[in-house]
Amino acid sequence: MNSTFDFFIGLALLIIFIWYFATESVRRKRIIGSVLAVGVTALALLFFRQIGIEKGIELRGGISAILQIQPGEDRQVSDSAQDHVIGVLQKRLNAQGTKEIILVPQGRDRIFMQFPGITSEEAEKVLNDATKNAKLEFSLVHEQNRTLAPLVAAEEEVVPGWHVLPGKPDDKAPEGSPVPQYLVEVRPDMSGEHVTSARVSYDNAGQRVVLVDFDSEGSSQFGELSKNYGRQLAIILDGEVISAPGFNSGKPIYGTCEISGDFSEREVLALASALQNPLSNELKILSVNQISPTLGKDTVNQGLLAGISGLAITLIFMLLYYRVGGILSVLGLIINLAVIFGAMSLFKFTLTLPGIAGIILTIGMSIDANVLIFERLREERAAGKSLANAIDAAYDKALSAILDANLTTLITSIILYVVATGTIKGFAITLTIGIIASLFSALLVTRVCFSWIMAAKFLKGLNFMNLIPERNINFLKGHRMHIIISAALVVMSLIVTPLRDPRGVELKGGDLITIKTHAENVTTASIKESLKDASIQSHPIVQEQSPAGQPDTFYIIRGESGSGDAIKAELQKDLGINLDDTETEQVGSQVGGEMLKTSTLALGIGLLAIMIYVTIRFEFAFALGALAALIHDLIIVVGFLSLFGRDISLITVGALLTIAGYSINDTIVVFDRVREGLRSKRGEVADVMNYCINATLSRTMLTSITTLITAVTLFLFGGPALSNFSVTIIIGILVGTYSSIFVASPIVLWWAKRTKTNLRREILDADQAKVAPPSVQSPS
């Protein structure tokens, strides 16, 4: 696709988006909104059709490789060498976190790697680029390079202190074109060891660029070099000039440097890879094998069918419950789905089966915004407002709850993307796309549709089902008992979890068994069936692999640490094969120390950001209640997974992060209604909070029901591949619904009483501060 064309189309849509919110004319807003909805959907479908989405290892297979770390001069391979190499490869091969690359320590000096969706030949090119133990240098190109370089190369002229280095052939140059030559100083101007990071980005014109960061010393050196305005700077990798950009800014560059040019995708990725953290140890490729999908075709189809069925049931429920409103919400969700897949195609996100389930689940949860609006609409109609006024009031009053709930989750996802690495970064991208798509479809698409219906005078009234009648339950009456129950569940979880250690093979490593056999009864399916009832705590991962250029077939099995003998014994008993000479090797966790450290840091910063945001938008007591409910939910969910003997894998980590978003979303919606109640209603704070919890009860229950429909369908019919994922979501929804009612609000009330905080006064003062004009001191 033409990136410049894409950029200007995106810019045009952004201008239309701003115009939509700036205009006050209802007719003009309706037309602009329609153009925007159609334009965004068409662009998303165009991205999906022309780019497509890459499938993960479990859906299409890929390659596996074993890399051996070579010791340096007079050095042994250190204990930290594996973590360092894995960190470098993760940044080189998966800087955006959008690809499902598996990198696992094996033994003391090897790395087990899996890469989805490429052939063995393509894999070797990728590995050769990624595993270079590069000597990186920077040197200014001679000002008369064009005339002197050919002469010096032909030894017709000598320039003391300068020599000629070959350049990298241009991918777009015709075959047989001469290799470019560069006259550079023998002693380079700067070493590449000062580069701290290099990443691919896009400039304002939509062209690919590489952004390079340096340490403090490197930043100072590069700043001095950049004063040579108009000169070229050769980026030299192992004696070859891989790029020679010119200094065009006209001022010194300290900090981040942007390298631009007419790069192809392969060129820009190779340049960023070469600049990114040069390896301190050379890597040797021991083997490259083609591997089968980790899930069979029937399993994939089963999971897809279950997910789509769950979503279909949810949509039918919305149609029956909200009728005309349900039709509009379904239309909004279809556009939501198109935007998600279009954005995933644009960012080249690797799609996995749990990813599909997660998207379907995200769409199910995004119904929450529609439910909020429709329940508000029901209240406004009950208050006697006309249909047109009720629709406007419903959207206006639901807006703050929808924005606050989604912005808290969006802040966390952005922090996860910036700080975390690998799979967690990829999850953050998916979450961000899902939030933006949900806001777009719920706040713009459905409102524009309502506007057209009202303009056509097609709709005289709206009738909704009401399965959850209005009640006045005193939820805060037994708050001490609720806190005791929650505290007991948290303590139980904190005891059970370390005793059972529910981490699966992906998170804690284990044994790697490679089986070579010609027995016809040995298949991936038969191995999985044999190990289904084995006395092994964590479920083993089974894959078929074929060495490049050889007819043999191997099966690799990854099981928990110490399970190798039990796995071999079970296979020998069930399949009648001899595995006495089969060796068992130790492999490490897919989540290396660096990834675990950055992910934990990102989560901590995210929680702090939520505290700050909720404190600013509400009051500290509400921030404390929201954070307590979030931590409460995650601890109890992990505790129940441990109690039920469920493994926590990378799939489950994604489900836990989804639960965190669900929990904070649910709590903020209740708090938004409490804030509104404290502004407008008289009486004791506890009574107002009870009223507001009851007012949002139908929305809370409906959102939980629609999300549970999808999750339960995945659990019942999605097969073993999605079992842990769906169980985690089901427990999380139940616990999250409970905490938003019985944990978050009581903690807010308790803290307000303990600190003698007048919540109503605090909220009213904050509102007054927003609208009060700045005071001007009159001259004396």
Phi-psi region of 97 (alpha: psi -120 to 50; beta: other; left: phi over 0): left
Count of Cβ atoms closer than 10 Å to residue 612 Cβ: 12
pTM for this model (two decimals): 0.73
Q: Checking DSSP bridges between strand 510-516 and strand 110-116, what pairing results, if any?
A: unpaired
Lowest mean pLDDT among 232-236, 558-562, 677-681, 686-690: 558-562
Percent of the chain surpassing pLDDT 90: 14
Residue 413 neighbours by CB under 8 Å, 6+ apart: 428, 431, 432, 435, 661
pLDDT at 102 over 80: no
Q: What was the pLDDT predicted at 765?
A: 75
Residue 424 · residue 603 · CB < 8 Å: no
Percent of the chain surpassing pLDDT 70: 80
Apex 261 CA angle, 260 and 262, nearest 5: 145
pLDDT at 233 over 50: yes
Residue 117 · residue 606 · CB < 8 Å: no
pLDDT at 701 over 60: yes
Sign of CA dihedral 521, 525, 527, 532: negative
Residue 172 · residue 118 · CB < 8 Å: no
Residue 546 · residue 552 · CB < 8 Å: yes
- Looking at the DSSP bridge assignments, the partners of residue 198 are 212
Give CA separation, 691 vs 619, 682, 694, 696, 761, in Å. Answer: 19, 11, 5, 9, 19
Find, among 102, 390, 134, 118, the residue nearest to 237 by Cα.
134
DSSP string, 563-625: -HHHHHHHHHHHH----TT--EEEE--SS-HHHHHHHHHHHHHHHHHHHHHHHHHS-HHHHHH
Q: What was the pLDDT predicted at 411?
A: 84
Give CA separation, 221 vs 196, 199, 602, in Å. Answer: 14, 20, 31
How much is the average pLDDT of 335-353? Answer: 81
Phi, psi for 688 (deg, rounded to 5): -65, -40
Q: What was the pLDDT predicted at 671?
A: 92
How much is the average pLDDT of 303-318? Answer: 82
pLDDT at 368 over 60: yes
pLDDT at 535 over 70: no
Q: What was the pLDDT predicted at 490?
A: 95
Report which listed range, 80-89, 276-285, 516-525, 566-575, is most confident.
566-575
pLDDT at 517 over 90: no
SS3 409: helix
Report which listed range, 463-467, 522-526, 546-550, 762-766, is most confident.
463-467
pLDDT at 237 over 70: yes
- Looking at the DSSP bridge assignments, the partners of residue 542 are 557
pLDDT digits (tens, 9 = 90+) for 619-668: 899 999 999 999 999 999 999 999 988 888 777 777 887 788 888 888 99
Q: How far apart are CA 174 and CA 180, in angstroms?
A: 13
Q: How far apart are CA 741 and CA 699, in angstroms?
A: 12
State the pLDDT confidence band at 426, using cuts at 50, 70 and 90. Answer: low
pLDDT at 740 over 80: yes
Residue 429 · residue 97 · CB < 8 Å: yes
Q: Checking DSSP bridges between strand 54-55 and strand 350-351, what pairing results, if any?
A: parallel
Lowest mean pLDDT among 140-154, 368-382, 615-629, 638-652: 638-652
Q: How far apart are CA 630 and CA 586, in angstroms?
A: 36
Q: What was the pLDDT predicted at 547?
A: 57
Q: Which two tokens stand for residue 608?
A: 């702090």
Specify the higher pLDDT residue, 308 or 129: 308
Helices (H), 460-563: 479-500, 505-508, 524-531
How much is the average pLDDT of 83-102? Answer: 70
Lowest mean pLDDT among 58-72, 402-416, 480-494, 678-692: 58-72
Q: What was the pLDDT predicted at 300?
A: 66
Q: How far apart are CA 506 and CA 652, in angstroms?
A: 11
Radius of gyration for the alpha carbons in the chain, expressed in angstroms and rounded = 30
pLDDT digits (tens, 9 = 90+) for 158-207: 888 899 988 877 666 666 678 889 999 888 888 877 887 777 887 777 77
How much is the average pLDDT of 404-431? Answer: 76
Report which listed range, 15-19, 319-323, 357-361, 767-771, is most confident.
319-323
Find, among 618, 572, 599, 573, the residue nearest to 744 by Cα.
618
Q: What was the pLDDT predicted at 693?
A: 92
Residue 713 neighbours by CB under 8 Å, 6+ apart: 306, 307, 309, 310, 313
If you search the block for the tokens 């190990």, which residue do you land on? 531
If you search the block for the tokens 């005339």, which residue do you land on? 147
DSSP string, 66-95: EEEEPP-TT----TTHHHHHHHHHHHHH-T
State the pLDDT confidence band at 492, using cuts at 50, 70 and 90. Answer: very high
Q: What was the pLDDT predicted at 594?
A: 56
DSSP state at residue 732: H
State the pLDDT confidence band at 780, using cuts at 50, 70 and 90. Answer: very low
DSSP state at residue 713: H
pLDDT digits (tens, 9 = 90+) for 551-603: 566 777 877 777 778 888 888 888 878 776 676 766 666 555 556 667 677 77
- Looking at the DSSP bridge assignments, the partners of residue 291 are 62, 545
Mean pLDDT value across the chain: 80
Q: Based on the number of CB atoms within 10 Å of its own CB, is 631 exposed (0-12), middle (13-18) or buried (19 or more)?
A: middle
Find, among 258, 469, 440, 454, the residue nearest to 343 by Cα.
440
